[in-house]
Amino acid sequence: MAFSTRNSSTTTKHTAKRVAIGAAAIALTLVVAGCSSGKASSTDGASKTLTIDKAFDLKTADPGRMYEPTGQLVDKALYETLLTFKGGDVSKVVDGVASLDESSDAKTFTLTLNGTHTFSDGTEMTADDVVFSLQRVIGLKGNPSFLLAGVTVTKKDAKTVVLTTKTATPALPSILANPALGILNSKVVKANGGATDSSDTAEKYLNAHSAGSGPYVLDSLNLSSKVVLTANKKYDGEQPGYGRVVIQNVEGATQKINVQGGSADVALDLSGTQAAGLGSSVDVTSDPSANVIFLLLNQSSKVSKITSNPDFVKAVKEAIDFDDLVSIAGTGTAQAAGVVPSMFLGALGEGDALKQDLAASKSDLAKSGYNGEKITLNFPSDITLNGIEFPTIAQRLQSQLKTAGITVDLAPAPVATELDAYRNGTETVGLWYWGPDYPDPSDYLVFTPGNVVGLRAGWAAGADPAISKLADAAAVGGSNDERQTQFEDLQKALNDDGPFIPLLQPGNNIAAASDVTGVVYNAVWTIDIAALRSK
């Protein structure tokens, strides 16, 4: 009887187990049968997804507030600008949605909309949209507002807008090519809180939808992980090669593995070392970037009696082994011949760059009366620029200067904390970089006495009248040839007598799967996503 009971209990357990398994199987079948797909695209033709790996610094996709490299990349795809650049050539502007008529004094800029441009909702672009977009950038007082500081925007007629400035602004055409000045669909933006002053609340809308006429529209945006774009069917130009683009936030080391493994088609943040030795399935485009890493020696005797001595500054310039710095920085890196990057109008040729001369350095050092005192070199310890780590450069400079008899104490600090000392002009020697605000040499007039970066080096107005005179002449503008000469003269004088030592233009390395074509580095928006094609 007892045996029989145990047997019955076992049978019941088995039956329960079978019922449970059966129920689970039925549930699973129902789930599978009722399943939809979460896939977003096919793998062929124009609907193919292009995956781009980028280390994000994205804060917003709202053009009026955006001024970060990732934002430029995204907004270039979403919005069109009045003027633009062709491919990677940022030394000359070309027509965007408008053509330019510039006055000879560089104070009046007449822009006429060319042809018919339509926004992604089919609305035609008018001068009202242009005026609203530009006035919004000015009125929001956001990061890109400085681009249009001192600019008055007025509508002339339905197709024409006039920009006027009180002083000569030869850089304005280059500035207008910046994606931060992309033209918005004013009706849509206004309907979603848009305004031309600080009461504007359209950012949330513009981070979820785009309101432009670019080759893509915004599908979704997560500031910390992923931006998804889809082709704009109403785009006036040639349809982009990929119907869907995913830009995902990935750090450099992982980008390399991703592009090699095939889960990413393009990797935008590889260092020179990472770019070297990629397999045959990946093509690498290496160019010097528009960032210029430089050393500043403070000219204020209150900060340092040593670095404010002109002979000491010369000795440091002559002590640096630039070739050595270029070699440790890796693929794509070039010596910065002057403060203006090599791809901009007004850049110096390689022959005008500073060169190492240890004998001259020792002689100038003796003249300066330097007695081996320790000089502090401040630098941001957590900045990695195009794969180059600032501590590595600082250590190499310390070693090179030691060879010349100059003792350097390294003082690294996180950028967020060191920035104050740099901006307040209290660093004795500083290692920093300048990323262009816009691709025009006038952006580099800040390196002259009494101007922003000059003051950071304790170089007050009137400290070097000859250089100030050259800077004043360059600020007025003229023809491209005239401007080229003006900025060359200014930079040669800066290399001879200025407190700055241009060191490097770090390499910008873009790795792309070999079936992706059209990869061209642009100093403003990195790459034009719409120009990429699949083989």
Q: How far is the CB of 346 from another protein (least distance, A)?
A: 19
The span from the CA of 508 to the CA of 525, in Å, is 12
Residues 93/83, Cβ–Cβ less than 8 Å? yes
Q: How far is the CB of 388 from another protein (least distance, A)?
A: 17
- Specify the residue, 51 or 400, whose C-beta has the smaller distance to another protein: 51
- Specify the residue, 213 or 378, whose C-beta has the smaller distance to another protein: 378
Q: How far is the CB of 62 from another protein (least distance, A)?
A: 9
Distance linking the first and last C-alpha atoms of the chain: 79
Residues 422/298, Cβ–Cβ less than 8 Å? no
- Element at 7 (helix H, strand E): helix 2-33
- Specify the residue, 60 or 526, whose C-beta has the smaller distance to another protein: 60
The span from the CA of 319 to the CA of 355, in Å, is 9
- Specify the residue, 263 or 327, whose C-beta has the smaller distance to another protein: 263
- Specify the residue, 332 or 439, whose C-beta has the smaller distance to another protein: 439
The span from the CA of 215 to the CA of 234, in Å, is 8
The span from the CA of 251 to the CA of 526, in Å, is 16
Question: Residues in the site for another protein, rule: CB under 8 A?
Answer: 31-32, 34-41, 43, 49, 51, 59-60, 65, 67, 141-146, 149, 198, 203, 220, 222-226, 228, 246, 248-251, 253-254, 257-258, 260-264, 382, 414-417, 419-420, 423, 437, 452
- Specify the residue, 29 or 104, whose C-beta has the smaller distance to another protein: 29
Angle at 294 between CA 291 and CA 296, to 5 degrees: 145
Look at residues 400, 290, 324, 255 and name the one whose alpha carbon lies nearest to residue 69.
290
Laid out side by side, the sheet with 334-335 consists of 334-335, 500-505, 292-297, 429-434, 374-380, 407-413
The span from the CA of 508 to the CA of 278, in Å, is 15
Q: How far is the CB of 262 from another protein (least distance, A)?
A: 8
Residues contacting residue 477 through CB under 8 Å, at least 6 positions apart? 106, 168, 169, 170, 442, 483
Q: How far is the CB of 42 from another protein (least distance, A)?
A: 9
Exposed e or buried b per residue across 43-54, where buried means at least 16 C-beta atoms within 10 angstroms of its C-beta:
eeeeebbbbbbb
- Specify the residue, 184 or 319, whose C-beta has the smaller distance to another protein: 184
- Specify the residue, 52 or 131, whose C-beta has the smaller distance to another protein: 52
Residue 376: phi and psi, rounded to 5, are -90, 130
- Specify the residue, 125 or 147, whose C-beta has the smaller distance to another protein: 147
DSSP sequence for 432-469: EEE--SSSSGGGGGGGSTTSHHHHHTT--TTS-HHHHH
Cα Rg, the chain, nearest whole Å: 28
Adjacent-strand bridge partners of 104: none
Residue 120 φ/ψ region, left for φ over 0, alpha for ψ in the -120 to 50 degree band, beta for the rest: alpha
- Specify the residue, 88 or 450, whose C-beta has the smaller distance to another protein: 450
Q: How far is the CB of 67 from another protein (least distance, A)?
A: 5
Residue with tokens 């992980």: 225
Q: How far is the CB of 199 from another protein (least distance, A)?
A: 12
Residue with tokens 């925007």: 153
CB neighbours (10 Å) of residue 257?
A: 14
Residues 252/506, Cβ–Cβ less than 8 Å? no
Q: How far is the CB of 50 from another protein (least distance, A)?
A: 9
- Element at 244 (helix H, strand E): strand 244-249
- Specify the residue, 49 or 160, whose C-beta has the smaller distance to another protein: 49
CB neighbours (10 Å) of residue 364?
A: 23
Q: How far is the CB of 60 from another protein (least distance, A)?
A: 6
- Specify the residue, 144 or 332, whose C-beta has the smaller distance to another protein: 144
Q: How far is the CB of 32 from another protein (least distance, A)?
A: 6
Q: How far is the CB of 166 from another protein (least distance, A)?
A: 17
The span from the CA of 309 to the CA of 31, in Å, is 79
Q: How far is the CB of 310 from another protein (least distance, A)?
A: 27
